Structure 1
Amino acid sequence: MPDDYYFHMDDELVFDTIDAYEKYYREQGFYKKGAPRVALLAGNINQQNSNAEHTVKLIKGLEAKGLNVFPIRSFGQKKLELLQACNPDIVLLRPHGRLAMGQQDNAINWLKEKNIPVLTPLTVYGEYDKWLKDPQGMSGGMLSMSVVMPELDGAVAPYAVVAQYKNESGNLIFDGISNRIDDFSELAAKLAHLQKAENRDKKVAIYYFKGPGKNSLVASGLEVIPSLYRVLQELKNKGYNLDGLPDTKDEFEKILMQKGPVLGPYALGAFDEYLKTGNPVLVEKETYEQWCRQAMPEDLYQHVVEKYGEAPGDYMKVEKDGKAYLAVTAVKFGNVCLLPQPLPGIGDDEQQLVHGAKVAPPHTYIASYLWTRFGFGADAVFHFGTHGSLEFTPGKQVALSDYDWADRLIGTTPHFYNYTISNIGEGIIAKRRTYATLITYLTPPFMKSGLSGDMESLLGKLDKYYSLPDGPVREQYGISVKELAEKLNIHSALGLDSTRNYTGSDIHKIHEYLEEIEEEKVTAGLYTMGIPYSRNKLENSATLMSADPVAFALAELDLMRKRITQQQYSDALYVSTHYRPKANSLIAKAMNGVDTQTLIGELVNETELSMAEKWETAHKDHDLMALMISYGNKGEKEEVKTDSSRLPELIVRLCANEKNKAYIEKLESDKVFDKSSEMLDPVKREKAVKMAEKMKGMAPEMYESVSTANQPDMLELLQIMQDSLLRLKTFELLANDELGKKIEAEKQQILIDKAAVLDSPEYTTWLTRVYKPSLAADIKEMDIEELKQGLETIGYINAATESFPFCAQKAYAEKFADKETWDRAFQHAVEISGHELADKEARRERYAKAVLKLKETLSNARQNKNNLAESRIRSWLPSSMP
């Protein structure tokens, strides 16, 4: 069976090429002409390494929704090739890591270019019943591999569809959660429909946020009504049906405030007025209850009844013609409906309600979302601005179930959330708990806080104080500074004792305090989508984004060069005064197009830049998961010419080392032998060595095993042992007494060879150095490479004590005779060498990071400016809604 292939519901049938799969798919009657194409990437749990039922159920579920499904199994470099060949409209990633390990950037660029959304049907690695009760849903490594890493590729909708169940034998097996597979398949089909449908036919529901009564619409950092109106205009320009949208923003605002309010539960008079003028949607009690039965488990709905009584409850209730209704606030313009998000609970603490009322939402809240889905029939739901309450309704944090309110309310409708770029934490909550595609909007422009009034006067007095020599006039200014600082209550903020005269240090603290306030970044008003920053605000914002990183990187470089002290570097006022002006100048040049290399060349020399780049290369994170996954793929064993007559010689040479002998003895196990034999594949061997090196600290046994197997003699032995008869012969030789004598002789020769190494000048020099009183001073003068070599040499000497009797240099045996002094001297040498090496490496790291931070920040300065200038509404619209 190949490593990379397409498959279907018969796990015995695999297809190397897209042509072969499509031929089978058409001939078997699965293909639906003109239907969306869905690539289903099998994860680490699939029908090739697990029971097939869950994968088959997912394929069937997707096909039942009218989709053409292209299941792919690949963990290697061919995954992206197979994906591209099937030309999908949507990618479904059953996640366990990145979408295309080792080709992440290429994969992301392809997804962007082709406008392909990625959804993530999740596998719950635990028993279904226990998962239902778990308030977290998923955590630890599984959360990282199944949710976090796919998000880096743009994946959304981490929707739980598979869990473990006990079979008849009491064993846990994976199986599909039938209704959730059906719901997820419907979500995928709706998203595919959204991409292909004509804009004029798409129905869009947009939720906005406002407080009860006459409060304005709200969203973090956003002018909501002007922004929302601009978005609606842009939708209209793109062909969406917005019949009745007013010609002006003011008219739009008037309608929205009149027909789209949020009414408090006790505002009975306002509610009566709203019924007369607001034209709410009336949802009949029986219809609402039918929708609830369709959308959620019965016992989940019972929590609502227990808390608020039978529908429609007392809040937003309407009685008409002998029937009970729930009033849903909705303002429709053609196929676009605007809805205020209802209060998620009934109470006075609005902040607490929005950020997570720990009770079921009221009937009115549920009715709004269910009407949007079943009554209005929305093709897409938007939440406009940061932030609402849906993502904070009770339930799991991630991998939600049918018993979590966010999951049941958003349902299977594609969801998009307009969220501020500055609130990543809560944005992630919204993304994961409501299956939202986040569409970020800019923060308001930045400006320096500056000083005014008495604060500005105090800064003037401080400047005068520092300009004067010691003497009575300076002392008088110091008293004046103290008086004004106490008037402003700054002494309390800084913990200064107002009953005594201030020292120079106290006055410096006041100066730092003012500097911090003056340089503080604050927002300059609110942001309106579609209106670019003014040139001045654009320049200020872009500069302020980069000023601190550049200033502190410049100071860090001077600290490493010993041009300033640690105390000066730690003094924010000193850094601001001495480095911020230069930082601002550099940023201005970068934003105006001066080449980054030219700017860096003014700040660091070639040696410093080369050192930083070498450090960066050496410390780049290896894609460990890519190595682990690709290591599991079959490879080709290296064709190595071997001479079976060398078998006794190899065993003698290898078994002279006890670690090698122990390793060979373990090869009697078929499982261990098969695993070790993978080292004969040169590609897999290279990956194994890289992985072992990366995990050396976490898994020293793995590192030792790979290092042992990677010896040329051991690889040759493994190659010979591929012949089953010669493998048996190997273990016979291990038990041979005559060979045992030869092994002992080989051990003796190894001791003699080591003695020759010990007698070399490099080793005898270090032996002398270890005992020298000036050892610490000598080590201080060494560079990093010398220290590394020294530690290696010390380790070699200390591990080769059995060779001392064979050394020509008798100093080894003589000094080792006093074992206590020897151990103390070598331990001391290792400690101070290790500490010095760590200090020098830390210093090099700081130096390199400062250079790289300068390079990165100055490189990004112009792009930051360009990004901030990009304020087009069309950049807000999600790619799946052209």
Structure 2
Amino acid sequence: RVDPKTATFYEQSGVDNLVAMILDQGQRALGLDLPEQTPTTMPDFALCNLETKQLFETFEAYQAAYAPYMEGNPWVAINLWRSDFLSEQLIHLKEYAEQFEDNGFNVLFYYGYPPKEEANGLFYNAEGELVPEVLLVQAGWLGANPRVNRELYETLGIPVINMMHLNKSAEEWMESQKGIPVYSRTSSLNIPEQMGMVQPIITSTKEVIASTEQRTTKYSVLFQVQRLLKRVQQLHVLQNKPNAEKQIAVIYYSHPPGKELLGASYLNVVPNSLHTILERLQVEGYDLGEAPVNETDIFERVSTHGINIGQWAPREVDKLVATGNATLIPMELYQQWYARLASSLQAEIEEQWGKPEDSYIMVWTDEEGKKYFVLPSVQYGNVLLTPQPVRGWSQDIDIMHHDISIPPHHQYVAFYLYLQYGFDADAVVHLGTHGTLEWLPGKESGLNQHDASEALIGDLVNVYPYIMDDVGEGLQAKRRSGAIIIDHMTPPFDKLGVNPILDKLEQLISEHEIAESKSIALANAKFNDIYQYAVQSGILVDLGMDTIADDEELHYLEHYIEEVQEEHAPLGLHTYGRLPSPESVEKFAQAIAFQKQDLSQRERAA
């Protein structure tokens, strides 16, 4: 049985308590002539000053002792592990503070996971005003309760960014294709996602202390902390700039190229969803210009000026430019933006697609021989409607949609660099399930500027309306493009639209995508379940397939299911931000009851 006093020393931990525990044992167990030792207790959570090691229960007390305080400047709250504070592993945290303070932010350090009932003293001033604009929380599972943390974050109502520590060196991480090891993803990604954290980013690694050549400690990854700083700055702008001045890009999918193929999975994008979004933006005070905001005008403008053009119709590029509605990026300007990318990423792009000046995809040459990248677009004041570029040109576009081996071509790169540096977007919206940004080459998770997805989204706030039942691919968007997911409903179905075989396969595919982030063995087991069910159902025969050999064929099966389900949705696709009619809801409920064989008559009637 452990001695209670000794247990208290150990549980409270820290250098002082561990030394006192040894001295206490010397006094009590060995009879040495030593002073009596008392455990130093710490609260489960508190505000803390890293320089003085003081703890505070109120914001006013913290501010009074905070030497770098800049009156009138914004605050950012940074969470640290209690164990780091006790063991004085503070180098990386002080480096965070230096970056933020040098760029005009006050820093509020706190440790632990306070419940929402305790938030008033920590995050609010005496006037009851919320102090921090953003929370930066170190991912972890020890002492974390997803429900408690989620309730706190919902109460605060501010962005919570997931700062990840990697128990590897920066060099090992840079060379790794996986990024975050599979065994670490539960604590680094899964649990923080359940809490509501967004924009996961590795900010510290474990390095050997040079003076010891053996001991390790945590150091910040400077270029990652600078990327984090820029994202916080972007959120600060978004929170404080008047809506009428904000620049928003709404990205939809014209895949494969053509007027009839504008949309997303189970979502009516053009014109319905675009109309509801523009209408709400107008109500909220965004500048939409003078053009009428109605479904007819949106459909006409987008289908005429806002579609991708296939390689089989090169003259259509000339026609689009002639209308004066396309966005033109001069080759020289693109080359300046392109030079900002990591040299390793440039090398990957050029190995596949050549130099920028040799590009041919969506390139237009004027009478003087000057080259431009052409971006289809429709402008409503400060809101840009624009299709995400296709992943390839002459290749099989359906296959390339999920191909993570082929880097983006120059027009694709120009599109996202324009949003960052030309259009100066305050936020982008990827409308619906799903785009291709999160499927570009690079690390599986824990990306950096050498990975295409991370480089192209840059510091942009990426809002991503996503269908609620595609969890697996939604995680891909969160982890590889910093997506802030806003779920939308599935469309309602009647009895004719319910296909239990396809529904089961969709569920298995989603489970497989989730399993890939947890365990290779579990993912392989789910893959086998999909194959066995596909064989039993006969769907492979319908597709002319003998087997499902790899992820590429699995994605082909998945999109075949989506196409069939969409074609047999007699009640129509969902419109974002709009509830289905009561009649559709009634038919949908009847269809669900029809599919469930174990319901009683009373339950069916209800």
- Name 1:122's counterpart in structure 2: 164
- Name 1:305's counterpart in structure 2: 350
Deviations 1:169-227 (A, max 9, x none): 43443211111101111101211321222111111111100121323312011111111
- Name 1:214's counterpart in structure 2: 259
Letter in 1 for 2:243: N
* Offset of residue 75 of structure 1: 5.3
Work out the CA distance in 2 between the residues paired with 1:447 and 1:101: 42
Q: Is the 8 A contact 1:300 1:403 kept in 2?
A: yes
* Offset of residue 319 of structure 1: 3.1
- Name 2:207's counterpart in structure 1: 165
Among residues 230, 239, 258, which one is paired with 1:186 in the alignment?
A: 230
Letter in 2 for 1:19: E
- Name 2:33's counterpart in structure 1: none
1:365 is aligned to 2:406: no
TM-score between the two structures when normalised by the length of structure 1:
0.52
* Offset of residue 79 of structure 1: 7.0
* Aligned pairs for 1:368-387 within 5 A: 368-387=415-434
- Name 2:275's counterpart in structure 1: 229
Q: Is the 8 A contact 1:341 1:388 kept in 2?
A: yes
Letter in 1 for 2:187: M
Deviations 1:532-552 (A, max 9, x none): 32222212324555676xx6x
Letter in 2 for 1:72: Y
TM-score between the two structures when normalised by the length of structure 2:
0.75
Name the SS of the counterpart of 1:446 in structure 2. Answer: coil
1:349 is aligned to 2:396: yes
Name the SS of the counterpart of 2:233 in structure 1. Answer: helix
Among residues 70, 74, 93, which one is paired with 2:108 in the alignment?
A: 70
Q: Is the 8 A contact 2:253 2:262 kept in 1?
A: yes
Identity, in percent, stands at 27
Work out the CA distance in 2 between the residues paired with 1:166 and 1:278: 58
* Offset of residue 288 of structure 1: 1.6
Name the SS of the counterpart of 1:580 in structure 2. Answer: coil
Q: Is the 8 A contact 1:355 1:392 kept in 2?
A: yes
Name the SS of the counterpart of 2:87 in structure 1. Answer: coil
Aligned residues: 489
Work out the CA distance in 2 between the residues paired with 1:588 and 1:60: 64
Among residues 26, 43, 60, which one is paired with 1:19 in the alignment?
A: 60
- Name 1:613's counterpart in structure 2: none
Letter in 1 for 2:59: I
- Name 1:156's counterpart in structure 2: 198
Q: Is the 8 A contact 2:267 2:432 kept in 1?
A: yes
Work out the CA distance in 1 between the residues paired with 2:393 and 2:71: 49
- Name 2:493's counterpart in structure 1: 446
Q: Is the 8 A contact 1:65 1:189 kept in 2?
A: no
Task: Classify 1:346/1:159 alpha carbon distance in 2 versus 1 (closer, same or farther; 3 Å).
Answer: same
Q: Is the 8 A contact 1:94 1:123 kept in 2?
A: yes
Letter in 2 for 1:394: P
Among residues 131, 135, 139, which one is paired with 2:177 in the alignment?
A: 135
Name the SS of the counterpart of 1:532 in structure 2. Answer: coil
Deviations 1:408-455 (A, max 9, x none): 11111111101111211111111111111101111110221289xxxx
Work out the CA distance in 2 between the residues paired with 1:49 and 1:545: 56
1:535 is aligned to 2:605: no
Q: Is the 8 A contact 1:39 1:83 kept in 2?
A: no
Letter in 1 for 2:70: Y
- Name 1:329's counterpart in structure 2: 376
Gaps of 5+ in 1: 452-489, 494-520, 552-575, 590-882
Q: Is the 8 A contact 1:190 1:413 kept in 2?
A: yes
- Name 2:70's counterpart in structure 1: 31
Work out the CA distance in 2 between the residues paired with 1:290 and 1:491: 54
- Name 1:255's counterpart in structure 2: 301
* Offset of residue 47 of structure 1: 5.1
Going by fraction, where is strand more abundant, 1 or 2?
2
Q: Is the 8 A contact 2:173 2:179 kept in 1?
A: yes
Name the SS of the counterpart of 1:369 in structure 2. Answer: helix
* Aligned pairs for 1:507-522 within 5 A: none
Q: Is the 8 A contact 1:400 1:433 kept in 2?
A: yes
Name the SS of the counterpart of 2:65 in structure 1. Answer: helix
* Offset of residue 349 of structure 1: 1.1
* Offset of residue 357 of structure 1: 4.4
Task: Classify 1:530/1:12 alpha carbon distance in 2 versus 1 (closer, same or farther; 3 Å).
Answer: closer
Letter in 2 for 1:371: Y
- Name 1:319's counterpart in structure 2: 365
Among residues 586, 593, 596, which one is paired with 2:603 in the alignment?
A: 586
Among residues 169, 180, 187, which one is paired with 1:145 in the alignment?
A: 187
Letter in 1 for 2:376: T
Work out the CA distance in 2 between the residues paired with 1:531 and 1:22: 45
Letter in 2 for 1:283: I
Name the SS of the counterpart of 1:417 in structure 2. Answer: strand
Task: Classify 1:247/1:182 alpha carbon distance in 2 versus 1 (closer, same or farther; 3 Å).
Answer: closer
- Name 1:418's counterpart in structure 2: 465
Task: Classify 1:532/1:62 alpha carbon distance in 2 versus 1 (closer, same or farther; 3 Å).
Answer: same
Name the SS of the counterpart of 2:466 in structure 1. Answer: strand
Gaps of 5+ in 2: 1-39, 499-535, 540-567
1:285 is aligned to 2:304: no
Work out the CA distance in 2 between the residues paired with 1:81 and 1:170: 45
Letter in 1 for 2:449: D
Q: Is the 8 A contact 1:5 1:15 kept in 2?
A: yes
* Offset of residue 530 of structure 1: 4.0
Letter in 2 for 1:39: A
Q: Is the 8 A contact 1:208 1:339 kept in 2?
A: yes
Work out the CA distance in 2 between the residues paired with 1:93 and 1:448: 46
* Offset of residue 340 of structure 1: 0.6
1:526 is aligned to 2:573: yes
* Offset of residue 235 of structure 1: 0.6
Task: Classify 1:277/1:76 alpha carbon distance in 2 versus 1 (closer, same or farther; 3 Å).
Answer: closer
Letter in 1 for 2:170: Y
**CA-atom RMSD in angstroms:** 2.9
Work out the CA distance in 1 between the residues paired with 2:329 and 2:383: 19
- Name 1:657's counterpart in structure 2: none
Work out the CA distance in 1 between the residues paired with 2:205 and 2:170: 5
Q: Is the 8 A contact 2:258 2:310 kept in 1?
A: yes
Work out the CA distance in 2 between the residues paired with 1:406 and 1:288: 18
- Name 1:628's counterpart in structure 2: none
1:92 is aligned to 2:136: yes
Work out the CA distance in 1 between the residues paired with 2:312 and 2:305: 19
Letter in 2 for 1:387: H
Deviations 1:711-759 (A, max 9, x none): xxxxxxxxxxxxxxxxxxxxxxxxxxxxxxxxxxxxxxxxxxxxxxxxx
Q: Is the 8 A contact 1:318 1:326 kept in 2?
A: yes
Work out the CA distance in 2 between the residues paired with 1:75 and 1:247: 46
Letter in 2 for 1:393: L
Q: Which is higher, the Rg of structure 1 or of structure 2? A: 1
- Name 1:723's counterpart in structure 2: none
* Offset of residue 147 of structure 1: 1.2
Name the SS of the counterpart of 2:278 in structure 1. Answer: helix
Going by fraction, where is helix more abundant, 1 or 2?
1
Task: Classify 1:76/1:118 alpha carbon distance in 2 versus 1 (closer, same or farther; 3 Å).
Answer: closer
Work out the CA distance in 2 between the residues paired with 1:399 and 1:334: 36
Task: Classify 1:96/1:492 alpha carbon distance in 2 versus 1 (closer, same or farther; 3 Å).
Answer: closer
Letter in 2 for 1:23: A
Work out the CA distance in 1 between the residues paired with 2:191 and 2:538: 47
* Aligned pairs for 1:633-652 within 5 A: none
- Name 2:532's counterpart in structure 1: none
Task: Classify 1:65/1:539 alpha carbon distance in 2 versus 1 (closer, same or farther; 3 Å).
Answer: farther
Q: Is the 8 A contact 2:318 2:364 kept in 1?
A: no
Name the SS of the counterpart of 1:40 in structure 2. Answer: strand
- Name 1:750's counterpart in structure 2: none
